[in-house]
């Protein structure tokens, strides 16, 4: 059942569940931050509305910086701001930032320890019809390898908002991963956001398996868990919003209780959440459960609707259910 | 060498440009997302390329000797797809699959998805460098084909473009011609308000490039500019083509709001009506 202690949205399993774009959480949080803290500065590279930075731009024009289509320059300017007492949020699509400007960020923001928050939008194949060039599916891999970075991949609007607010409270580089389309609202305003923690969203007394999901796919994992329960299959669903630092102890604790683990991410399985979990398990060694990694399997995405794509690339609830059943019978 | 443009060929190219615009509207309506302004603004130039300038063979898209048309600003691919379909690269019917799952017509062009697409693009600023690579390769192989690279103006805010220009200043490649879609819009507004590009011509000249300016809707003038570019045997030519984004559809023209959205049903109907009456007008002008 849904974890009763963390105020999850009780309508999750209704057909017409409320939906809201995850990126709106970023935009709304920026406006709140702008009001609270005069050191917050927001930058974009010709994508103000698409990244939802435009609301901040309207309210605080003097603290909004339009860089034009120039992601490297944006990163460098932010690096300068971030070591000068400002909290700089850079807003673009993740394929371009931290994609195109990766090394600039590495040197001037990460290694240089500047107070910059990198907002990567249009992550995942759920980006849809624009096609693979605009679907960021390696962004976790290319940021997770950096020292001195904190990475949050929120599961819905509320978590995105809380993650953005939180990132401003802590000095240093963050990578925040956002999604374009409307996605189901899983949590509520009251759901606690504990940075660095893996939260159990679906609990079972004697779980056979655990599903570690991140981002909007947490919803698919929950749907799968509920339908599996109806077939008397008990699983856990864990929401991994903090990709770095990863709560390794939690993964080890859960792994000792289950027969198998599934990771689920709208990202390449190479270098993403699945890899991160594999690293934790392999380092422990001994009697570790089998891991099935769901996500993009060493291929690029393509144009299509979000629903079609997560089905075709096997990230939807059916793919999760199938993997669970295979794992149990293996 | 590109042939001189005779009156009846010019009329044909103008008619093709209108057909291209109609099909762009129809395909964007069907897709439900995609870019309107840029593709419509470049319809005349794509008509000139696919039906007059390019040395190519739609039945054999990988023909070694073909000219290469590199699209740096990949988001205007609807105009390329339509021109390719009309030229016979694939059935017109297939235009309906734009941006749909399992389609060869990706939302942004993907080289290996569709024969005849020379480069994968969408992320801005990356076309000219690739075109330079192809031009160097042609020279090494002593091949005569020409490389054209279409870029957009907002795209010129990317540093990569200027790195490429600086490279061309040193390594002049006369088998490469660059066309800039100077339509003065980008996503967040008017280019000169977002990050100004002017004085663009002087900037390019100061990089050592051969710069031409042309009205991008005057097909004769455009073809002449390309011919002139090819007669420049030393330097790389850049043609600044002044275009009107959304050209041909009154309510879309010059509005940056139409950069990245498709028409809805009523808007498409209105647009098609306008294009069809315009077609009548243009044909009668030449009679
Ligand atoms: C590297 C990169 N950054 C941002 C974008 C998002 N983007 C797509 S088109 C565009 C505006 C480009 O303006 P322009 O090149 O003049 O195209 P037009 O609107 O005239 O078609 C932007 C910023 C992108 N595609 N690539
Ligand atoms: Mg433009």
Helix/strand number for chain A, H first, E second: 11, 14
What's B7-285's CATH class? alpha beta
Residue after which a domain boundary falls, among A184, A217, A244: A184
Q: How confident is the model at residue B281 (pLDDT cuts 50, 70, 90)?
A: low
Asked whether residue A34 falls in the same domain as residue A135, the answer is yes
On whether both A162 and A223 belong to a single domain, the answer is no
Residues A167 and A25 in one domain: yes
Average pLDDT over residues B56-63: 98
Candidates A73, A100, A302; nearest CB to B101:
A302
Q: What is the CATH number of the domain that holds A278?
A: 3.40.50.920
Our count of domains for chain A comes to 2
Tell me which residue has tokens 């690339």: A313
B287 pLDDT more than 60:
no
Mean pLDDT (10-residue bins), chain A, 330 residues: 97 95 98 98 98 98 98 98 98 98 98 98 98 98 98 98 98 98 98 98 97 98 98 98 98 97 98 98 95 98 98 98 96
Claim to verify: residue A33 and residue A176 sit in the same structural domain? yes
DSSP annotation of A313: T
- List of chain B residues whose C-beta atoms are within 8 Å of the C-beta of residue A49: 187-188
pLDDT tens for B5-40 read 999 999 999 999 999 999 999 999 999 999 999 999
Residue A280: inside a domain, yes or no? yes
B173 confidence band (pLDDT: 50, 70, 90): very high
Domain boundaries, chain B: 7-285
* Residue B108 contacts A where some CB pair is shorter than 8 Å: yes
pLDDT at B274 over 60: yes
Instruction: Select from A156, A184, A212 the last residue of a domain.
Output: A184
For residue A325, being part of any structural domain is answered with yes
Whether A149 and A109 share a structural domain: yes
User: Do A262 and A229 share a domain, yes or no?
Assistant: yes
**Residues B175, B180, B182, CA angle at the centre, nearest 5°?**
160
Q: Is the domain of A203 the same as that of A174?
A: no
A96 touches chain B (CB under 8 A): yes
In this structure, are A102 and A138 located in the same domain? Answer: yes
Give residue B284's pLDDT band: very low, low, confident or very high (50, 70, 90).
very low
From the list B100, B105, B155, the residue facing A69 with the nearest CB is B155
Do residue A211 and residue A166 come from a single domain?
Answer: no
Which residues of chain A does B125 touch, with a Cβ-Cβ cutoff of 8 Å? 69
- CATH of residue A138: 3.40.50.970
For residue B186 and ligand 1, the question of a CB distance below 6 A is answered with: yes
Over residues B269-277, the mean pLDDT reads: 94
8-state DSSP, A316: S
Domain annotation covers residue A128:
yes
Task: For chain B, say whether A69 makes contact (Cβ under 8 Å).
Answer: yes
Q: What is the pTM of this model?
A: 0.96
- A8 part of a folded domain: no
Cβ pair A154, A241 in contact under 8 A = yes
Between the CA of B211 and the centroid of ligand 1 the distance, in Å, is 23
Say if the Cβ atoms of B74 and A133 lie within 8 Å.
Answer: yes
Q: For residue range B125-164, what is the model confidence (pLDDT) as tens digits? A: 999 999 999 999 999 999 999 999 999 999 999 999 999 9
Same domain, A89 and A222: no
Of A46, A303, A305, the CB nearest to B154: A46
Give residue B286's pLDDT.
44
A&B contacts, CB < 8 Å = 96
Q: Is A167 inside any structural domain?
A: yes
Domain for residue A14, yes or no? no
CA of A74 to the centre of ligand 2 (A): 20
- Assess whether the C-beta atom of B72 lies below 6 angstroms from ligand 1: no
Q: What is the pLDDT of residue A330?
A: 87
Query: What average pLDDT does the segment B197-219 reach?
Result: 98
User: Which residue, A135, A151, A184, sits at the end of a domain?
Assistant: A184
Q: Is the CB of B152 under 6 A from ligand 1?
A: yes
Cβ-based contacts of A73 with chain B (< 8 Å): 159
| SS3 annotation, chain B | CCCCCCHHHHHHHHHHHHHHHHHHHHHHHHHCCCCCHHHHHCHHHHHHHHHHHCCCCCCCCCCCCCCEEEECCHHHHHHHHHHHHHHCCCCHHHHHHCCCCCCCCCCCCCCCCCCCCCCCCCCCCCHHHHHHHHHHHHHHCCCCCCEEEEEECHHHHCHHHHHHHHHHHHCCCCCEEEEEEECCEECCEEHHHHCCCCCHHHHHHHCCCEEEEEECCCHHHHHHHHHHHHHCCCCCEEEEEECCCCCCCCCCCCCHHHCCCCCCHHHHHHHHHHHHHHHHHHHHHCC
Does residue A12 fall inside a structural domain?
Answer: no
User: How sure is the predictor about B1, in pLDDT bands with cuts at 50, 70 and 90?
Assistant: confident
User: Who among A69, A129, A302 is closest to B186 (CB)?
Assistant: A69
Ligand 1 nearest atom to the CA of residue B152, by list position:
15
Residue A318 inside a domain? The answer is: yes
Residues facing residue B241 across a β-bridge: B181, B214
The closest of B35, B95, B264, B113 to A130, measured between CA atoms, is B35
- Domain holding A107, by residue range, is 19-184
CA distance A287 to chain B (A): 42
Same domain, A36 and A143: yes
Beta bridge partners of B69: B148
Q: What is the overall mean pLDDT for chain A? A: 98
Same domain flag for A33 and A174: yes
A157 phi and psi angles, rounded to 5 deg: -55, -50
pLDDT in tens, A23-73: 999 999 999 999 999 999 999 999 999 999 999 999 999 999 999 999 999
pLDDT in tens, A280-312: 999 999 999 999 999 999 999 999 999 999 999
- Determine if ligand 1 sits within 6 Å of the CB of residue B119: no
- Residue A144's Cα: distance from chain center in Å? 12
């Amino acid at each position: 059942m849904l974890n009763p202690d963390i105020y999850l949205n009780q309508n999750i399993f209704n057909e017409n569940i409320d939906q809201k774009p995850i990126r709106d959480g970023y935009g709304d949080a920026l406006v709140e931050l702008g009001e609270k803290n005069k050191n917050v500065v927001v930058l974009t590279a010709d994508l103000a509305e698409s990244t939802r930075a435009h609301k901040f731009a309207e309210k605080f024009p003097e603290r909004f910086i339009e860089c034009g289509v120039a992601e490297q320059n944006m990163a460098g300017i932010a690096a300068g701001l971030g070591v000068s007492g400002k909290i700089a949020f850079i807003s673009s699509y993740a394929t371009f930032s931290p994609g195109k400007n990766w090394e600039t960020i590495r040197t001037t923001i990460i290694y240089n320890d500047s107070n910059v928050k990198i907002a990567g939008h249009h992550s995942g194949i759920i980006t849809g019809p624009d096609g693979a060039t605009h679907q960021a599916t390696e962004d976790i891999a290319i940021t997770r390898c950096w020292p001195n970075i904190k990475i949050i991949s929120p599961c819905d609007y509320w978590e995105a908002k809380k993650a953005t607010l939180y990132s401003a409270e802590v000095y240093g580089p963050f990578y925040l991963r956002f999604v374009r389309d409307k996605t189901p609202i899983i949590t509520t305003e009251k759901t606690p956001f504990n940075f660095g923690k893996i939260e159990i969203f679906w609990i079972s007394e004697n779980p056979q398996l655990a599903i570690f999901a991140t981002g909007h796919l947490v919803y698919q994992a929950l749907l799968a868990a509920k339908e599996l329960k109806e077939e008397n299959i008990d699983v856990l669903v864990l929401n991994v919003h903090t990709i770095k630092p990863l709560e390794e102890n939690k993964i080890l604790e859960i792994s000792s209780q289950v027969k198998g683990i599934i990771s689920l991410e709208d990202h390449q399985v190479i270098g993403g959440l699945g890899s991160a979990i594999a690293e934790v398990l392999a380092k422990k060694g001994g009697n570790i459960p089998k891991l099935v990694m769901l996500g993009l399997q060493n291929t690029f995405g393509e144009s299509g609707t979000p629903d079609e794509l997560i089905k075709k690339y096997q990230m939807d609830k059916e793919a999760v259910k199938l993997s669970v059943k295979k794992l149990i019978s293996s | 060498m590109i042939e001189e443009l005779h009156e009846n060929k010019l009329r044909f190219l103008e008619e093709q440009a209108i057909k291209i615009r109609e099909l762009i509207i129809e395909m964007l309506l069907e897709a439900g997302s995609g870019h309107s302004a840029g593709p419509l603004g470049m319809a005349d130039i794509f008509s000139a390329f696919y039906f007059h300038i390019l040395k190519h063979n739609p039945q054999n898209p990988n023909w070694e000797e073909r000219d290469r048309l590199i699209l740096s600003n990949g988001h205007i691919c609807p105009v390329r797809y339509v021109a390719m379909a009309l030229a016979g690269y694939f059935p017109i019917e297939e235009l309906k699959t734009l941006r749909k799952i399992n389609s060869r017509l990706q939302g942004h062009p993907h080289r290996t998805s569709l024969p005849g697409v020379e480069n994968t693009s969408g992320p801005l600023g990356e076309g000219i460098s690739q075109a330079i690579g192809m031009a160097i390769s042609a020279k090494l192989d002593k091949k005569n084909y020409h490389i054209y690279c279409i870029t957009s103006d907002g795209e010129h805010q990317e540093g990569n473009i200027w790195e490429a220009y600086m490279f061309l200043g040193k390594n002049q490649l006369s088998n490469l011609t660059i066309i800039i879609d100077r339509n003065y819009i980008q996503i967040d507004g008017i280019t000169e308000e977002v990050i100004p590009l002017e004085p663009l011509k002087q900037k390019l000249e100061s990089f050592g490039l051969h710069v031409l300016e042309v009205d991008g809707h005057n097909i004769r003038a455009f073809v002449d500019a390309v011919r002139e570019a090819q007669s420049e045997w030393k330097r790389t030519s850049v043609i600044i083509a002044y275009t009107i984004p959304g050209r041909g559809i009154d309510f879309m023209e010059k509005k940056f709001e139409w950069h990245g959205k498709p028409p809805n049903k009523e808007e498409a109907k209105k647009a098609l009506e306008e294009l069809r009456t315009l077609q009548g007008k243009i044909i009668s002008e030449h009679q």
